[in-house]
Amino acid sequence: MGIDAGENKTSITPEMLVEGTMGLVSLPEISIKINEMVDDPKCSAVHIGKVIGKDAALTARLLKIVNSAFYRFPSRVETVSRAITIIGYRELRDLVFAATVSGMFERISTDIIDLDSFWRHGIYSGILSRLIADNCQVLHGERLFVAGLMHDIGQLIISYKLPKLMRAIMDLSDKEGIALYEAEAQILGFTHAEVGAELMKAWSFPETQQNVARYHHNPSAAKDSILEVNIVYLANIIAQIAETGLVDTDRLGKIDNKVWVMTKVSKSDVESLLVEAREQFIEALTLFRPKGRLGASNAA
């Protein structure tokens, strides 16, 4: 059933938005296959490598990523199966997804959200999430890059399916000086965070990814994946601050102390995190957003 942008908000749900968009943003067949193989104990790194190897472009891109400074491996990785043995099965699955996700949304035409700016923020948030995860020694921290990359994905779905309401949301946010998600809640009755979580669920992504998407603006409401939610919550705020070019001490001061304690980051660490993130940003942009037209001057 199609959704009219003029419908009353009570007749629209996150599930309906996701269901109505799946034809455009469904996972590539190879991502679905890798998802299944990673969860199958009978599948070896060689088996998965052979499946990915059938897609020459994806293989080349994955090897370019694992041999980049993004991973800093001491010696060159020549095959996908070797990459899997080094970074792990689930990390490889996340890497396949990260390498293809921006292209999945190219067919969504919206003049409301600039895709380059959107993915720039996602990549920056992903880098910061990964750095913070390393800081507090989270196991398999690579998944936090994808969680940070995807945290706002629900915005694209709302913009595509409900463009008139999204414009009203943005106008309300500007007029009232409130966060976008607060304006979404007033106008729609739900937020992009809930839509993103439903999309992750539809794609059969792990509950950790679903929880991060759902609670990245309200980490205190999370009952599971609490550390991961707090990491992306903090990374998102730091990324937004980075985009202004100035460290907003007032905004950092409003972050609950529990977040700093849990992530093992202090306010004084933010500047060094930003320096390290900037060093990785341009390369990550070319690796994960190859169609991006951003240069160094546009970097957050």
Q: 28: which DSSP letter?
A: P
Residue 126 and residue 270 in one domain: yes
Q: Is residue 3 part of a domain?
A: no
Average pLDDT (11-22) is 89
Domain final position from 86, 104, 122: 104
Domain interval for residue 293: 109-300
Average pLDDT (102-124) is 84
3 token code pair: 């959704």
275 token code pair: 């320096």
Assess contact for 17 and 200: CB atoms under 8 A: no
Assess contact for 254 and 147: CB atoms under 8 A: no
Q: Is residue 1 part of a domain?
A: no
User: Residue 111's pLDDT is what?
Assistant: 78
Residue 98 and residue 120 in one domain: no
Distance in angstroms (rounded) separating the CA atoms of residues 176 and 124:
27
For the residues of 201-233, what is the DSSP string, one character each? HHTT--HHHHHHHHHTT-GGG-SSSHHHHHHHH
Cα angle vertex 146, ends 142, 150, to 5°?
165
CATH code for the domain in which residue 194 is found: 1.10.3210.10
For the residues of 60-76, what is the DSSP string, one character each? HHHHHHHTSTTT--SS-
Q: Is residue 123 part of a domain?
A: yes
How many CA atoms does the CB half-sphere of 145 hold within 13 Å?
27
Distance in angstroms (rounded) separating the CA atoms of residues 133 and 203:
24
Domain final position from 46, 70, 104: 104
Q: Is residue 130 part of a domain?
A: yes
**Total count of domains within the chain:** 2
- The pLDDT tens digits for 189-245 are 999 999 999 999 998 888 999 999 999 999 999 999 999 999 999 999 999 988 776
Average pLDDT (103-129) is 86
User: Residue 147's pLDDT is what?
Assistant: 94
Residue 240 and residue 173 in one domain: yes
User: Residue 252's pLDDT is what?
Assistant: 85
Q: Is residue 8 part of a domain?
A: no
Average pLDDT (275-282) is 90
Residue 87 and residue 117 in one domain: no
pLDDT at 65 over 50: yes
- The pLDDT tens digits for 130-188 are 999 998 888 777 789 999 999 999 999 999 889 999 999 999 999 999 999 999 999 99
Q: Is residue 125 part of a domain?
A: yes
C-alpha distances in Å from residue 292, one per residue of 40, 267, 289, 296: 35, 31, 5, 12
